[in-house]
Structure formats: structure tokens, C-alpha cells
A and B are shown apart, each in its own frame.
Chain A
């Protein structure tokens, strides 16, 4: 099956620092990647939709300057949490959709998630 990886799986950082999370599609190309945030005991909330080579589309209420998303290639999207604060502590999950007309087209595959703790 299609594999999506995230790195790191777990990160602890000090307040005020920036953290970068990588999302990679390992065996297929993904034109679109999605970034979700999940608080403990809560549902997944879509933060933004990332399309390769263009600017990400953020959901209402998500600060684009706070959560920088870059989708530079068909296999990699990154989420950078800038000047992180304790309230940014959460579980971040990415998903990737295959390129239409190719393998894994229109299927969405999820990464294993990254647990961010900001002290």
C-alpha cells in the first residue's frame, strides 16, 4: 500500500523556537497534501491544504504566518510552527493524495503523526 511518513514522530521544544515537520509520500507522487491538528480526546481539524508548487490554502482561523506550509515537490510537504508556544502543543497529522491519472490517484493516505510538545 501507499506509505506516507512524517518526521519527527515526536518533538519537544522550548517556547519561542520554530519547529519543522516533514511529510513525505514514499512510493507515490502527491499533488495535494493536507495538514491536520488533533488535540487530546478531540477530532482531527483540517489546518490547510497544500498543493505542489503553489501557496497553501488555510482553513478559517488558522494563522498562515504561524503555520508555514511548503510543498516544494511531489513527495514532500513541510509544516513549520514558528515561535511555538505551549498552546501549539498538539498531534499534527498529514495526508497525501495521489496524482490524478496515476497510481494512488485520488486516494488519501495518512502519515503516522507528529506529537509536538512546547515547554
Chain B
């Protein structure tokens, strides 16, 4: 069975603070993909990153960075110097056999509120 757990339901920070969103996953598959999506109040999902299980390199994209650790089955997301525009719900997702039509399993989401 596959499962994604985002233990933090809500996080509130003040602008310019760094914040880390946790994601822990479970799967028996050796090949899988992990994702992060942002859902602003408008509701539309915004793709942030896709990572396959064979690539444990951390990634940085501007103020965003991701830490993938297979040993702890975690794929955490850090926003550096947060801004008000970062306020949204963030979802971590998992897909096994993604390239063969594997479906996405979403975590519960973390609602991030960045206050000025």
C-alpha cells in the first residue's frame, strides 16, 4: 500500500522566516516518484517538483529547496525567506510506476500562512 503523511496541518510564520514542510511516505515499490504541489486560494494546483526514487540529490530552485532521504522515507520542502505570496496549501504526493500510468496519492496537505 502507498501512503503519504504530512503531519503539519497548519503552519504560521512571519515574512522572511524560513519554513520546512515535512513529508513522509510509504511504499513497497522500488521505483516511485515524489511530488510537491502548491494550491493557492484560487484552487488550481501548481506543480513544484517531481523526483524519482533513484535520484537522492537535493534540489534548490530559488527560495525553494527539497531534501529527499530514502533512509527515512522523507521528502521535505523548505522555503527560505518566506513571503506573503507563499501562503497556500502545499501537498506532497507519491506515485509508483508513474511512467506506466501510476496514480498520484496525496498527503493531507499543509496550510502555510505567511504573515507580513
Chain A interface residues toward B at CB < 8 A: 32, 34, 41-46, 49, 91, 93, 95, 97, 100, 106, 108-113, 115
> Which A residues are in CB contact (< 8 Å) with B105?
46
> Which B residues are in CB contact (< 8 Å) with A93?
43, 45
Which residue of B45, B98, B99 has the most chain A CB atoms within 10 A of its CB atom?
B45
Q: Complex: how many Å from CA A49 to CA B103?
A: 8
Contact pattern, B 60-87, Cβ under 8 Å of A = 1, otherwise 0: 0000000000000000000000000000
Partner of B106, one of A32, A41, A44, A91: A44
Q: Complex: how many Å from CA A111 to CA B44?
A: 7
Chain B interface residues toward A at CB < 8 A: 37, 42-45, 47, 91, 98-99, 101, 103-109, 111
Whether B101 lies near A32 (C-beta < 8 A) is yes
- How near does chain A come to B104, taking the closest CB pair, in angstroms? 7
If over half of B's interface residues share one DSSP class (helix, strand or loop), that class is named, otherwise mixed; here it is loop
Contact of A115 with B43 at beta-carbon distance under 8 Å, contacts A43-B91, A106-B98, A106-B99 already known: yes
Partner of A46, one of B37, B104, B109: B104
Q: Complex: how many Å from CA A42 to CA B111?
A: 10
- How near does chain B come to A28, taking the closest CB pair, in angstroms? 15
Whether A43 lies near B108 (C-beta < 8 A) is yes
> Which A residues are in CB contact (< 8 Å) with B47?
109-110
- How near does chain A come to B66, taking the closest CB pair, in angstroms? 18
Whether B106 lies near A43 (C-beta < 8 A) is yes
- How near does chain B come to A62, taking the closest CB pair, in angstroms? 13
Whether B45 lies near A97 (C-beta < 8 A) is no
> Which A residues are in CB contact (< 8 Å) with B111?
41
Q: Complex: how many Å from CA A87 to CA B101?
A: 30
